Amino acid sequence: MKIENLLKIREIKIFFFDLDGVLIHPDAANEKCAEAVEKYALSFLQLGALFGIVTAREEDELILRLKSIENCVVLAGSINKTENADRFLKSRSINYKNAFYMGDDLLDIPLLQKCGFSAAPKKARREVKRVVTFISSAEKCEDVLKEIYNNFKKSKEPASRATKH
């Protein structure tokens, strides 16, 4: 990740991820993804950031599983993702400049544009990739979370070490 992006990601207080198309793919095992979310929700918290899912998906077995994870905020059931994020961020006194969001589809663009750091997977729609700060090369849930977490962790290192990588 470029140094200017490391400086931006360092200021993030909450990491939001879209579910379908970003963390979950049609052939993916939902339970395996839930386990990765559980692991990384705690890892982000240990570095001082909250972790969340923003999805239009209605409440189902996976959403209920994700909601049961400690340190994982789940904002689900609305195609107006920005409205859900607005309410949550306001309740926590977090500014959008300190929010991260990774999305992949047209519905995600308004939220991607508001966040201080935005990302998309490499398989995202072209329109989405045009508005984000960072395009991830990872595809699987665990790999996506690991890549973003590692960059966040790297951003927290003393400046001399972070810029050498």
Average pLDDT of the segment spanning 154-158 = 87
pLDDT of residue 30: 84
Q: What's the pLDDT tens digit per position in 116-152?
A: 999 999 999 999 999 999 999 998 999 999 999 999 9
State pLDDT tens for residues 66-92: 999 999 999 999 899 999 999 999 999
Q: State what percent of residues in the chain have pLDDT above 70.
A: 94
| Mean of per-residue pLDDT scores for the chain | 92
Direct distance between the N- and C-terminal alpha carbons of the chain, in angstroms, rounded to an integer? 9
- The CA-based dihedral angle spanning residues 4, 146, 15, 62, taken in that order and rounded to the nearest 10 degrees: 160
The edge-to-edge listing of strands for the beta sheet with 117-121 is: 72-75, 50-54, 14-17, 99-102, 117-121, 134-136
With a cut of 80, say whether residue 98 has pLDDT above it. yes
Cα-based angle 91, 42, 131 (whole degrees, multiple of 5): 60
Q: In this predicted structure, what is the pLDDT of residue 25? A: 80
- Assess whether pLDDT exceeds 80 at residue 37: yes
Q: What is the pLDDT, as a whole number, of residue 149?
A: 97
Residue 106, judged by CB atoms within 10 A of its CB (0-12, 13-18, 19+), counts as: exposed
- Domains for the chain: give ranges and CATH numbers: 3-156 (3.40.50.1000)
Among 14, 37, 11, CA closest to 91: 14
Q: How confident is the model at residue 28 (pLDDT cuts 50, 70, 90)?
A: low
The confidence score (pLDDT) of residue 6 equals 87
